[in-house]
């Protein structure tokens, strides 16, 4: 009861002291403001990146293994992979045969082509030759029209399903279904439009800027020399838990298809979303590290500023401290008074920082990437600013609390 009274009173005293010194308080908090802006922006950026990553790669699927010639992320020497043979359609079919009944297998091939509808065209759109199994491997579904059917693949139909960016780029507000567009030099009838996937993540693949065509048609239209396709084979595990086992099986079967001797290393790569997650975490680590350093430095500078101003404040108010002690203030209540004051200064700085960060986030959201401030981030920002306030107030408050009342009353 006594303590809670102390807290309320100390808070009121602190607010009164702050009101009397508004300009100085605000100037002092500049470091804190910058620090809190850095805290909030760092966390918001990290959050935004994570969301963006999740959105961008939701189409990849966490329970899918991709067998390809190259790893997605080349960490080692590129030349180690350069001489690997392409994975061709014949091998893909053989692998599918071996895994029949155990997993869903879908081969894809892709290339970049220019696409054109009337006067509108787009360059370097990813054209993916795939099968009807594509939309069982990935969660992405058509938002209008339909996806490929077995029939389209079997009869090498010149039909395509376009991504949302392609639809926007070529058709604008026109309904693209059943329109005919040019992919490279061939005509394709549009049978469906995919739902939006969230665009490219940091220069990675943009699944919205894609066109799906039957793989058989692809080979006919863009295949080039037979047997030289660079096929990716997607293998979907029946469950998340069977991923690990499936990976070994796929490696084993693939080695059989390639007739590799035990002494030979794999001349193909197994890719999973996990591989990307690892890379992504590295990027996040750098973002967080930079943010942390900026935050740390500005908060430190801010804390030193607040400490300095609190020392000045204690010295200026030596007489006040003497009076308070004479009429019954204990060391503890003087200590609390100044701790509250420094915390309040920093809290004000923190709140200003949060407002600034919110404005900046809105700008980022409108220009760079989707970003929004979340409640946990706000809580962290408030806690950090109060903590800085308490830490920077300890030394000045202690000095004030220890002042001799007699000396203080005599202080001019």
Partner 1 sequence: MKDASATNTLSLQNVVKTYAMGSATVRALDGVSLEIARNEYVAVMGPSGSGKSTLMNIIGCLDVPTSGTYCLEGQMVAQMPEERLAEIRNRRIGFVFQTFNLLPRANILHNVELPLVYGGVPRTERRARAETALRTVGLSDRMTHRPNELSGGQRQRVAIARALVTRPSIVLADEPTGNLDSKTGEDIMSMLDDLHAGGQTIILVTHEEHIAEHAHRLVRLRDGLIESDEVRRAPAPRRVAVPVLEAAGVGAA
Of residues 315, 283, 291, 308, the one with CA closest to residue 56: 283
| Comparison of 180 and 330: residue with beta carbon closer to partner 1 | 330
Please tell me the count of residues contacting partner 1 according to CB under 8 A: 24
Q: Where are the beta strands (DSSP E) in 37-80?
A: 64-68
The residues near 82 (Cβ < 8 Å, ≥ 6 apart) are: none
User: Which of 330, 359, 363, 374 touches partner 1 (CB under 8 A)?
Assistant: 330
x-or-dash string of contact with partner 1, 11-40, rule CB under 8 A: -----xx--x--------------------
Give CA–CA dist 318/131, Å, rounded.
82
Residue 21, token pair as written in the block? 């010194």
What is the closest distance, in whole angstroms, from the C-beta atom of residue 18 to partner 1 in the complex? Answer: 11
To which H or E segment does residue 130 belong?
strand 120-130
x-or-dash string of contact with partner 1, 293-322, rule CB under 8 A: --------------------------xx-x
Give CA–CA dist 254/377, Å, rounded.
47
Give CA–CA dist 359/43, Å, rounded.
15
User: Which of 199, 205, 370, 405 touches partner 1 (CB under 8 A)?
Assistant: 405
Gap between the terminal Cα atoms of the chain: 36
| Comparison of 5 and 368: residue with beta carbon closer to partner 1 | 5
For the segment 333-352, give every residue that binds partner 1 (CB under 8 A): 333
What is the closest distance, in whole angstroms, from the C-beta atom of residue 40 to partner 1 in the complex? Answer: 33
Cβ atoms of residues 390 and 343 within 8 Å: yes
CA-angle at 176, arms to 171 and 181, nearest 5°? 80
User: Which of 23, 75, 327, 366 touches partner 1 (CB under 8 A)?
Assistant: 327
What is the closest distance, in whole angstroms, from the C-beta atom of residue 397 to partner 1 in the complex? Answer: 16
Give CA–CA dist 284/287, Å, rounded.
5
Strand partners, 120: 117
x-or-dash string of contact with partner 1, 125-164, rule CB under 8 A: ----------------------------------------
What is the closest distance, in whole angstroms, from the C-beta atom of residue 347 to partner 1 in the complex? Answer: 20
| Comparison of 58 and 331: residue with beta carbon closer to partner 1 | 331
What is the closest distance, in whole angstroms, from the C-beta atom of residue 17 to partner 1 in the complex? Answer: 7
| Comparison of 35 and 322: residue with beta carbon closer to partner 1 | 322
Cβ atoms of residues 115 and 166 within 8 Å: yes
Question: Which residues lie near partner 1 (CB under 8 A)?
Answer: 1-2, 5, 9, 16-17, 20, 319-320, 322-333, 405-406, 409
């Amino acid at each position: 009861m006594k303590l809670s009274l102390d807290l309320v009173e100390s808070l009121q005293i602190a607010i009164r002291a702050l009101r009397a010194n508004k300009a100085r308080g605000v100037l002092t908090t500049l470091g804190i403001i910058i620090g809190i802006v850095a805290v909030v922006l760092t966390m918001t950026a990290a959050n935004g990146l994570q969301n963006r990553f999740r959105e961008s790669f939701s189409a990849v699927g966490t329970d899918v293994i991709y067998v390809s010639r190259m790893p997605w992320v080349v960490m080692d020497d590129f030349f180690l992979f350069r001489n690997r043979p392409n994975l061709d359609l014949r091998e893909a079919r053989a692998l599918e045969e071996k895994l029949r009944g155990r997993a869903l297998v879908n081969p894809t091939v892709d290339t970049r082509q220019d696409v054109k509808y009337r006067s509108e065209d787009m360059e370097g759109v990813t054209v993916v030759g795939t099968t009807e199994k594509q939309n069982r491997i990935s969660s992405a579904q058509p938002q209008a029209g339909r996806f490929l059917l077995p029939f389209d693949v079997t009869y090498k139909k010149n039909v395509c399903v376009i991504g949302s960016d392609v639809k926007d780029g070529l058709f604008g507000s026109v309904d693209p279904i059943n329109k005919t567009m040019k992919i490279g030099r061939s005509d394709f009838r549009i049978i469906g439009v995919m739902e939006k996937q969230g665009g490219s993540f940091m220069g990675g693949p943009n699944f919205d800027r894609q066109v799906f065509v039957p793989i058989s048609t692809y080979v006919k239209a863009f295949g080039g020399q037979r047997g030289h396709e660079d096929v990716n084979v997607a293998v979907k595990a029946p469950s998340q838990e069977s991923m690990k086992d499936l990976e070994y099986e796929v490696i084993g079967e693939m080695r059989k298809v390639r007739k590799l001797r035990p002494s030979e290393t794999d001349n193909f790569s197994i890719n999973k979303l996990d591989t990307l997650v690892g890379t992504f975490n590295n990027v996040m680590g750098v973002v967080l590290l930079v943010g942390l350093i900026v935050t740390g430095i500005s908060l430190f500078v801010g804390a030193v500023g607040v400490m300095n101003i609190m020392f000045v404040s204690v010295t200026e108010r030596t007489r006040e401290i003497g009076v308070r002690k004479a009429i019954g203030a204990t060391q503890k209540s003087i200590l609390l008074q100044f701790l509250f004051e420094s915390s309040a200064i920093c809290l004000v700085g923190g709140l200003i920082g949060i407002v600034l960060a919110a404005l900046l986030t809105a700008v980022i959201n409108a220009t760079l990437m989707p970003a929004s401030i979340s409640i946990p981030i706000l809580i962290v920002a408030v806690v950090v600013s109060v903590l800085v306030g308490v830490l920077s107030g300890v030394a000045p408050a202690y000095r004030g609390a220890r002042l001799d009342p007699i000396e203080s009353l005599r202080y001019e």
